[in-house]
Amino acid sequence: MVIEWLRFRVASQSREKFIQKDEEIWTAALSTYPGFLGKEVWIEPDAPDKVVFTIRWQTRAQWKSIPVDDLAAIERKFAQGMGGIKYKMLESKEYQIRKFPLQQ
């Protein structure tokens, strides 16, 4: 399993709209692609202008097979849905999940 980890800055008063529109637009779109396993939203209690998304993919190849044109179209739809509210991606990371058998 691969984790796509994204950290954003959005004005604290717009955070809930950002999360809602992300669910309606980004999550709905990504869920149609092979390998999408789910998504979580993490918020920092001490940083109301930050939002972290963790997206789980079955394989890196499936995640990276999404056409760039599709991603651009989804982003345009999301930006339009945000109605001019500014947001910025601060970080993007990739993690692999490693599991080991329990020792008895």
CATH code for position 38? 3.30.70.100
List the pLDDT tens digit at each of the 104 positions of the chain: 999 999 999 999 999 999 999 999 999 999 999 999 999 999 999 999 999 999 999 999 999 999 999 999 999 999 999 999 999 999 999 999 988 777 76
Residue 51: the pLDDT is: 98
Q: Please report whether residue 102 resides in a domain.
A: no
Q: Please report whether residue 98 resides in a domain.
A: no
pTM over 0.75: yes
Q: What sign has the CA pseudo-torsion 74, 19, 51, 16?
A: positive
Q: Please report whether residue 97 resides in a domain.
A: no
Q: Please report whether residue 79 resides in a domain.
A: yes
Q: Please report whether residue 19 resides in a domain.
A: yes
Print the domain residue range for 7: 2-91
Say how many domains are in the chain: 1
- In the chain, how long is the greatest CA-to-CA distance? 56
Q: Please report whether residue 104 resides in a domain.
A: no
Q: Please report whether residue 99 resides in a domain.
A: no
Q: Please report whether residue 96 resides in a domain.
A: no
b/e map 20-45, b = 16+ CB within 10 Å? ebbeebbbebbeeeebbeebeeeeee
Residue 100: the pLDDT is: 79
